[in-house]
Amino acid sequence: MVSPGTKLILWRFILPIAMIALFTPNFCLAKQSKINGLKMNVIDRCWRLNAEWRKHRSQLATCSLGYVGKMVNNIGKDLVHYKVIDPSDDPINPKPGTLRYGASMIQGKVWITFQRDMHIKLERPVLISSFTTIDGRGTNVHIADNACLLIFKATNVIIHGIRIHHCKPQSPGIVMGTHGKVIPLGQVDGDAIRLVTASNIWIDHNTLYDCQDGLLDVTRGSTNVTISNNWFRNQDKVMLLGHDDGYVRDQNMKVTVVYNHFGPNCNQRMPRIRYGYAHVANNLYQGWVQYAIGGSMSPSLKSEANLFVASTPGRKEVTWRKVSHKNEDRWEFHSVRDAFENGASFMVTKGGRVPKPNYSKEQCFKIVDAKFVRSLTRWSGTLRCSKTSRC
Ligand SMILES: *[C@@H]1O[C@H](CO)[C@@H](O)[C@H](O)[C@H]1NC(C)=O
Ligand SMILES: *[C@@H]1O[C@H](CO)[C@@H](O)[C@H](O)[C@H]1NC(C)=O
Partners of residue 175 on adjacent β-strands = 183
Distance from the first to the final alpha carbon of the chain = 50
The residue from 194, 269, 272, 274 that is catalytic is 269
Q: Answer whether residue 146 shows pLDDT above 60.
A: yes
pLDDT (mean) for 196-219:
98
CB 240 within 8 A of CB 272: yes
The pLDDT of residue 371 is: 95
Ligand having the closest approach to the CA of 277 = 2
Q: Is the CB of 223 under 6 A from ligand 1?
A: yes
**pLDDT at residue 353, rounded to an integer:** 87
Amino acid at 331: W
What spacing in Å lies between the alpha carbon of 354 and ligand 1's midpoint? 22
Determine if ligand 1 sits within 6 Å of the CB of residue 230.
no
Give, using CA atoms, the residue closest to atom 12 of ligand 1.
Answer: 199
Give pLDDT, residue 34: 55
SS3 label, residue 9: helix
Domain residue spans in the chain? 57-376
pLDDT band at 351 (very low <50, low <70, confident <90, very high): confident
Q: Confirm or reject: Cβ of 380 under 6 Å from ligand 1.
A: no
Among the bound ligands, name the one nearest to the CA of residue 359: 1
The tens digit of pLDDT for each residue in 218-272 reads 999 999 999 999 999 999 999 999 988 888 899 999 999 999 999 999 999 999 9
- 69 Cα nearest atom in ligand 1: 5
Pocket test for ligand 1, best of 70, 222, 224, 359 (most atoms within 8 A of CB): 224
Per-residue pLDDT reduced to its tens digit, 112-137: 999 999 999 999 999 999 999 999 99
Q: What is the mean pLDDT of residues 140-163?
A: 98
On whether the 57-376 domain is CATH 1.10.3720.10, my answer is: no
The average confidence (pLDDT) of the chain is: 90
In a 13 Å sphere around the CA of 349, the CA atoms on its Cβ side amount to 21
Residues 319-339: pLDDT tens digits? Answer: 998 876 665 557 789 999 999
Residue 221, amino acid? G
Active site residue 124: no
Tell me the per-residue pLDDT of 363-374, one tens digit each, with 9 for 90 and over: 999 999 999 999
Query: In this model, does residue 178 exceed pLDDT 60?
Result: yes
For position 314, what pLDDT does the model report?
66
Residue 57 has pLDDT above 60, yes or no: yes
Nearest listed ligand to the Cα of residue 302: 2
Q: Tell how far the Cα of 72 is from the centroid of ligand 2, in angstroms.
A: 26
pLDDT at 334: 96
Nearest to 315 by CA among 293, 344, 295: 344
Indicate the pTM of the whole model: 0.92
Atom from ligand 2 closest to the CA of residue 254 = 13
- Ligand 2 proximal residues by C-beta, below 6 Å: 277, 355-358
Encode burial over 134-165: b for 16+ CB neighbours within 10 A, e otherwise: bbbbbbbbbbbebbbbbbbbbbbbbbbbbbbb
Q: Which atom of ligand 1 is nearest to the CA of 224?
A: 1
What 100-103 contacts at long range (C-beta under 8 Å, 24+ apart), as own/partner pairs, is: 100/126, 100/176, 102/132, 103/127, 103/128, 103/129, 103/132, 103/134
CB 230 within 8 A of CB 380: yes
